[in-house]
Amino acid sequence: MSDTEVESSENEKATNHGLCSNSMTWVGAAVLGAIIMSPASGLYFNFTPMEAAAGKVVPFVFIVAMVVTLPTALSYASLSRSLPSAGASYTWMRRATNPGTGIFAGWILNGFYLMAQVVLPGIGALFFNDLLSQAGLHTGYWTWAVGVLLMTGIVVAFNYRGISLSLRSTVVFMITESIVVFALMLTIFIVQGRNGQFTGADALHSFNPSFALGGSGAIFGALVFGIQSNVGFDAVSTLAEETKTPRKFIPIATVVAVITVGIYWIITGLGFVAALPLAKVLKVAASGGTPVAAIANRYWGSSGQALISVIAFSSIAAIFLAQNVASSRTLYAMGRQGAAPRVFGRVGAKDRVPNNAMTLGLIVTVLITLFLGALLGTVNQYNWTGTMSSLLALLTYLSVNIANFVYHWRFKRSEFQVWMHGVVPALGVVVVCFVIEKSYLLSLWKAGWTYGRSVQLAVVIWLALGACWVFYLRKTQPNVFDPELDVVFDFHRLNETSESDVDQILSRPTSEG
């Protein structure tokens, strides 16, 4: 019997207490990752700050972001093949190094996924306000807040009914938005080409870094949001325990998500650069509007603007659905081992989804979104949360690259491959550290307090809290660090592990642990 057949047989022994195995194929996992990366919505979020920072070279920045991401994506693929787990970097660092380091990595991962979730309802609510404005209604913070709550309600309606329903719903949204935005891009090319406003030379300039506003420093500033665009491929790994034959297909799904969505951004980003002068884009954003809606209005009229706003709101809701799925799985993985409160390590009896973990994520997301919207403004809150999310993402990616080398060197020496387990993670570490220095240490420091140094401080505080949490667990619940927990939650034993098994380990006298 092949490894795939053995794995499939094990997955079919569905456990009554864990996540619902065999809930999706590798295609579904790749689609969910692509949804979080948001083919069209990535432009809604990131096009404006990227163009504001670097000008017309947005497509070039997307290329750089994809190149930066690929080594880490390969490390995710490698670890997903060797050690599939809903805990992703938490589990990998725990197994590769030690439980304490794994818990700290899990803390960073949960902060990253929480902030990646926070960015969504605020952006979606901007399009809700845009729809109200088109209907002749006055809009402001309170209508925006209604949009935030409405979008959160949509997530609740779908995600608590099981992973399969979440996947079907998000696929429809993603396909629709991608087609509509691609059609808008083609319209821009045709109109601007006929008018002589966008030539072949203009297209080439978009891929030439020397045409960036402010030089290479501006490119690193824009890369912050290019990295934020790529957030999502990593979520594929959190679905390992719910996917058919994950060792074979999760790695494929991870790389497919990065490459296909990256190519989409490069092409459509070129069209958006040609759509409006930079001064017009900045003016629309400063007034509280969404540049993509203004672009649609110019090329498709008011009905096109309304279509884009509806599509944008629904597609961002789909990303919110998918991100809530990924976020809850990582907290669930920590909760079931006692590395987070155990209440988050339980699933619903009927649909087998981590309801408690999802609920916490949604409540915190709404509170932070509404607070930052009031403090920074409904448009600018994304700049802050997106920056913090992408910085925590890079710290997570750093841990994954380290885990790829260390785990295979220590525990899979006979299967160690110089390229996949040596060169790839080393390249990933170098690239990630370089980007952190240029885009997040230097650029953010120069960006001032509100959208630069305050983000750096927030990340430092989050890391300090994580260290305190590890120290607290070590003093109060030392059995959480027992290696036997890794044995009972090994992928091949998930369907044999019960909550009582974990209780026995966590409650045994410390001297036995």
pLDDT at 14: 35
495 — pLDDT class (breaks 50, 70, 90):
very low
Which single residue is written with the structure tokens 């003016």?
283
CA dist 335 → 193, 339, 347, 403 (Å): 56, 6, 11, 21
- 324-350 residue pLDDT tens: 877 887 888 888 888 888 888 777 656
Contact 510, 479 (CB under 8 A): yes
487 — pLDDT class (breaks 50, 70, 90):
low
Contact 137, 143 (CB under 8 A): yes
SS3 24: strand
pLDDT at 6: 40
Could you give phi then psi for residue 353, rounded to 5 degrees? -120, 150
pLDDT at 400: 94
pLDDT at 195: 84
Closest CA to 41 of 170, 163, 149: 170
* 448 token code pair: 């001032």
- 127-185 residue pLDDT tens: 898 888 888 888 889 999 999 999 999 888 876 665 454 556 566 667 777 788 888 88
- Whether the predicted model's global pTM rises above the 0.85 cut: no
Closest CA to 34 of 184, 240, 259: 259
Domain 3-442 has CATH 1.20.1740.10: yes
Contact 331, 360 (CB under 8 A): yes
- 23-37 residue pLDDT tens: 445 455 555 555 555
Q: 380-385 contacts: CB < 8 A, separation 24 or more?
A: 380/451, 381/122, 382/45, 382/49, 382/119, 382/122, 382/123, 383/49, 383/451, 384/450, 384/451, 384/454, 384/455, 385/115, 385/118, 385/119, 385/122
pLDDT at 349: 55
CA pair distance 58, 366, nearest whole angstrom = 31
Mean pLDDT is lowest, of 66-75, 365-374, 393-402, 457-466, for 66-75
pLDDT at 7: 42
pLDDT at 395: 94
CA pair distance 493, 64, nearest whole angstrom = 41
Mean pLDDT is lowest, of 91-105, 111-125, 478-492, for 478-492
The torsion region of residue 344 among left (phi > 0), alpha (psi -120 to 50) and beta comes to alpha
- 51-60 residue pLDDT tens: 888 888 888 8
Residues 6+ apart with CB under 8 A from 463: 108
- 278-331 residue pLDDT tens: 788 778 777 766 788 888 888 998 888 888 888 888 878 877 887 887 788 788
CA pair distance 277, 216, nearest whole angstrom = 21
CA pair distance 356, 343, nearest whole angstrom = 7
Closest CA to 293 of 266, 319, 312, 318: 312
pLDDT at 200: 81
Work out the average pLDDT over 59-78.
Answer: 86
Question: Looking at per-residue confidence, does 332 or 215 come out higher?
Answer: 332
Which single residue is written with the structure tokens 């074979």?
248
Label residue 279 exposed, middle or buried (CB < 10 Å: 0-12, 13-18, 19+): exposed
Whether residue 445 has pLDDT greater than 60? yes
pLDDT at 13: 39
424-435 vs 381-411: helix axis angle to the nearest 10?
150
Whether residue 401 has pLDDT greater than 90? yes
Percent of the chain with pLDDT over 70: 77
- 115-128 residue pLDDT tens: 888 888 988 888 89
DSSP code per residue over 248-314: HHHHHHHHHHHHHHHHHHHHHHHHHHHHS-HHHHHHHHHTT--HHHHHHHHHHHHHHHHHHHHHHHH
Question: Looking at per-residue confidence, does 323 or 484 come out higher?
Answer: 323
- 461-483 residue pLDDT tens: 999 999 999 999 999 888 888 77
Percent of the chain with pLDDT over 90: 16
Mean pLDDT is lowest, of 357-371, 466-480, 484-498, for 484-498
Closest CA to 83 of 7, 163, 32: 7
Work out the average pLDDT over 484-499.
Answer: 52
Which span out of 103-107, 433-437, 508-512 was modeled with the highest average pLDDT?
A: 103-107
pLDDT at 46: 77
Q: For all residues of the chain together, what is the average pLDDT?
A: 78
pLDDT at 19: 42
Contact 382, 122 (CB under 8 A): yes
Question: Looking at per-residue confidence, does 290 or 238 come out higher?
Answer: 290
CA pair distance 290, 281, nearest whole angstrom = 9
* 108 token code pair: 């960073």
**Triad 343, 344, 349: Cα angle to 5°:** 80
Mean pLDDT is lowest, of 22-36, 193-207, 281-295, 430-444, for 22-36
Whether residue 211 has pLDDT greater than 90? no
pLDDT at 406: 94
